[in-house]
């Protein structure tokens, strides 16, 4: 079932990655690196979309692995779908590789971080945080895209100040709590709640929009509950049950990008 008139197609252009984040969900079941090249053609994807989603507005997110390791396929998609909207989910370390023409086609660039410099470098490798900052600043003038920090909130050491700093570099900050049980001890949950309280307080105290996406979404759901029903039909807001498809490099389709190891979810 597809709810509404829009569908996001996340195209995993490769399962290769130049980083080895310690908690990566693709590492479960040896998914990471298992499919390095796309095994279907752009025309085959177009035929699939025409058959199943011809009455929907389809937009694409270039995903991975690390999508900047297979820019050629991303370019083919943009050429085949010249009127479609494109996003990119990237670790940010290779943004300098993306050609200017592709940067101009992107509507949103989501860059993965884990909080501040110390935490991000601990999970992703020394120097990664600084490289992300350099690359984001370098591409900002070359793209019309919204730049969003996509933060996995694993560490209880992540501070309010670190998240607040991200709002100065990025247009928006999105966070999701890590699913790993080790990230959610009673002490860790208490520490994160303290930080979250300060974020919420600043959101409501600010004269302008404080761009923390989960807080924005929560307020929207309270003020405009009909929008929630319209967007997800009252089902999970992660959209895996409603309007999100994840196309693997081998052409298989999964509903959830964090559970690619679960073959029983194949569509």
153 assigned to some structural domain:
yes
Residues 6+ apart with CB under 8 A from 94: 18, 66, 68, 69, 135
Domain span holding position 227: 6-265
Cis peptide before 65 (omega within 30 of 0): yes
Percent of the chain with pLDDT over 70: 92
pLDDT digits (tens, 9 = 90+) for 205-250: 999 999 999 999 999 989 998 887 777 777 777 777 678 899 999 9
Sheet order of strands, 146-153 included:
172-177, 146-153, 106-113, 86-90, 57-63, 6-12, 244-247, 253-254
pLDDT value at residue 32: 55
Measured between alpha carbons, how far is residue 208 from residues 54, 145, 154, 202, 213 in Å? 39, 21, 28, 10, 14
Classify residue 1: in a domain, yes or no: no
pLDDT in tens, 83-136: 999 999 999 999 999 999 999 999 999 999 999 999 999 999 999 999 999 999
In a domain, residue 255? The reply is yes
Per-residue burial over 131-157, b if 16 or more Cβ lie within 10 Å, else e, is bbbebbeebeeebebebbbbbbbbbbe
pLDDT digits (tens, 9 = 90+) for 4-55: 788 999 999 999 998 877 776 554 445 555 678 899 999 999 999 999 999 9
Task: Report yes or no on 224 lying in a domain.
Answer: yes
Residue where the block lists tokens 């404080």:
210
How many CB atoms are closer than 10 A to CB 243? 23
Residues 6+ away with beta carbon under 8 Å from 7: 53, 56, 57, 58, 59, 243, 244, 245
What's the structural domain count of the chain? Answer: 1
pTM equals: 0.91
3-state secondary structure of 64: coil
23: domain CATH number is 3.20.20.70
The residue ranges of DSSP E strands in the chain, in sequence order, are 6-12, 57-63, 86-90, 106-113, 146-153, 172-177, 244-247, 253-254
| 133-192 per-position pLDDT tens digit | 999 999 999 999 999 999 999 999 999 999 999 999 999 999 999 877 788 999 999 999
Residue 171 within a domain: yes
- The pLDDT of residue 2 is 77
- Answer left, alpha or beta for residue 4, where phi above 0 means left and psi between -120 and 50 means alpha: left
CA-closest candidate to residue 58, choices 118, 123, 97, 10: 10
Rounded alpha-carbon distances, angstroms, from residue 88 to 3, 73, 85, 105, 122: 23, 13, 11, 10, 24
């Amino acid at each position: 079932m597809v709810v509404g008139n829009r569908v996001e197609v996340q195209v995993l252009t490769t399962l290769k990655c130049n980083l080895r984040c310690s908690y990566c969900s693709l590492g479960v079941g040896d998914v990471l690196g298992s499919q390095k090249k796309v095994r279907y053609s752009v025309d085959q994807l177009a035929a699939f979309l025409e058959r199943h989603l011809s009455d929907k507005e389809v937009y694409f997110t270039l995903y991975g692995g690390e999508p900047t390791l297979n820019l050629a396929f991303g370019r083919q998609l943009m050429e085949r779908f010249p009127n479609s909207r494109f996003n990119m989910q990237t670790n940010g370390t290779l943004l300098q590789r993306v050609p200017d023409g592709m940067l101009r086609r992107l509507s949103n660039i989501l860059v993965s971080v884990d909080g501040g410099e110390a935490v991000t470098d601990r999970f992703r490798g020394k120097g990664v945080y600084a490289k992300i900052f350099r690359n984001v600043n370098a591409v900002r003038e070359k793209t019309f895209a919204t730049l969003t920090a996509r933060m996995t909130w694993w560490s209880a050491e992540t501070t309010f100040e670190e998240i607040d700093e991200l709002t100065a570099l990025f247009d928006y900050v999105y966070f999701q709590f890590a699913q790993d049980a080790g990230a959610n001890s009673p002490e860790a949950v208490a520490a994160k709640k303290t930080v979250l309280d300060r974020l919420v307080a600043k959101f409501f105290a600010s004269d302008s929009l404080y761009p923390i996406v989960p807080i924005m979404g929560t307020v929207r759901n309270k003020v405009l509950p009909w929008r929630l029903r319209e967007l997800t039909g009252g089902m999970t807001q992660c959209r895996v049950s409603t309007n999100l498809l994840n196309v693997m490099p081998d052409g298989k389709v999964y509903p959830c990008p964090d559970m690619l190891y679960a073959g029983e979810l194949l569509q």
